[in-house]
Chain A
């Protein structure tokens, strides 16, 4: 279980972005997070994944704080995959950075073998996004923070990506936090939804 306890965070002194925000995600649970631009959705996601350190409060994974080295059990998936890969690495090296997915797993995410010898700029956004999602599913990973990962995809590619991820998450009982502007998408995917505004998290029933 991933537990965020009374998190507070600010970039500018005196302007709190998050104030005493608590959130719990169980293994296998899909949680949705919505909010206006600049409300702090991505910041909350980064705090959960250990990219940022909260000023107050802590993130607890199964009664322990997040590890500072090794495979991070909470993975953050950013909106633009182009910025999340090394442009000078070929796709094979990018994909196998943390683990080596089997051929069947590549196929489930529609990652084609002939992409592997290419550089990331030679893949489209949707193709690269699928590579990035598969890369993040290393064996030690327990939770995913999907930060607007399907905004730039056309509807069909979107469904393909979510179906593959849903299947994988069910198999391994991954907990997923889906961050999106798209209420219809969150309704489809998540059992519980939250709205972030004025530094506070409110559940949507």
Chain B
């Protein structure tokens, strides 16, 4: 479905003060990632903040800032992705549920925005309106919420509107960036179940989250990332018991740190985790350009 081969991403890192431009150095944000996403799976990308999960999503969508330097290959259904093909596929084949609720247009009513997403996917304006209404009903947004502006929605409602937009776009690859932040347990279940549904319909869902525990029940495979590097890709059922079937010490530590499990940090791993506290920037090789 989607193959990522040896993807590296560098972003400029500016010094402070006068003449900062000339003191520009490069921070490696993604480091030699190779990943393969299958059709019909929910693939969870898990990692601490600053691990580069969202940047990977932007790289797939082609939404990186112009100053970013990208190396490596992205291959979507046998077709090489570049800026131009990403622009055509965005909103039709590829859909992103963004992390920030600011992605909603503040001047347009909810239903109209969702209809836009359907139109972008090639529907006529009449049927777009119809499918927007259906999708919003599906996510239990009542008529009042459908006619509301973005600032009138609660955080949970706004998230469901964004999810509905990905739903109507009929995209084959849906990337959900932290879709459950700020939702209470009931709403979280509903959004996660909706993502699982999409995968069961034969679409590919990439679920970006730091919440390993709630991703596990719906995920088929889990990829652990840490400061731009790929740590491990494991099937969801590997996360059980003492996590012995996980090959990497960091993913084991992540699993054991959950309150349902040991809620402690294993001793040999503590040192490698401590360097995380020393700041992600210190670890990344910042090379002077």
**Residue positions of A touching B, CB distance < 8 A:** 36-37, 110, 112, 114-115, 124-127, 152-160, 162-163, 181-182, 184-185, 187-188
Contact = CB atoms under 8 A, between A and B. Distances in A.
Contacts of A156: 48, 253-254, 257, 265, 273, 276
Main SS class of interface, A: helix
Contact of B48 (A115, A126, A162, A163): A126
B184 A37 contact: yes
Nearest to A182: B259
29 contacts: A110-B277, A112-B278, A112-B279, A114-B279, A115-B279, A125-B49, A126-B48, A152-B210, A154-B46, A154-B48, A154-B210, A154-B212, A155-B212, A155-B213, A155-B254, A155-B257, A155-B258, A156-B265, A156-B273, A157-B276, A158-B257, A159-B257, A160-B273, A163-B264, A181-B185, A182-B259, A185-B259, A188-B259, A188-B263
Contacts of A155: 212-213, 254-255, 257-258
A187 B260 CA distance: 9
Given A112-B277, A156-B253, A156-B254, A184 B48 contact: no
A114 B277 CA distance: 11
A58 to B, nearest CB: 30
Interface string B266-281: 0000000110111110
A185 B210 CA distance: 16
B250 to A, nearest CB: 8
Which 9 pairs across A and B sit closest by C-beta, in order of nearness? Answer: A155-B257, A37-B184, A184-B259, A154-B48, A110-B277, A185-B259, A154-B210, A159-B257, A184-B260
Contacts of B185: 181
B181 interface: yes
Interface string B201-214: 00000000010110
A107 to B, nearest CB: 10
Given A154-B49, A154-B210, 20 more contacts: A36-B184, A112-B278, A124-B50, A125-B49, A152-B49, A152-B181, A153-B210, A154-B46, A154-B212, A155-B257, A155-B258, A156-B253, A156-B254, A156-B265, A156-B276, A157-B48, A163-B264, A163-B265, A181-B184, A184-B258
Contacts of B257: 155-156, 158-159
Given A110-B277, A112-B277, A154 B260 contact: no
A126 B273 CA distance: 14
Nearest to A110: B277
A185 B254 CA distance: 15
Contacts of A114: 279
B47 interface: yes
A179 B47 CA distance: 24
A131 to B, nearest CB: 12
Contact of A126 (B49, B253, B265): B49
Contacts of B259: 182, 184-185, 187-188
A160 B265 contact: yes
Nearest to B212: A155
Contacts of A187: 259
Contacts of A124: 49-50, 280
Contacts of A125: 49
A145 B50 CA distance: 28
Nearest to B181: A152
Interface string B229-257: 00000000000000000000000011101
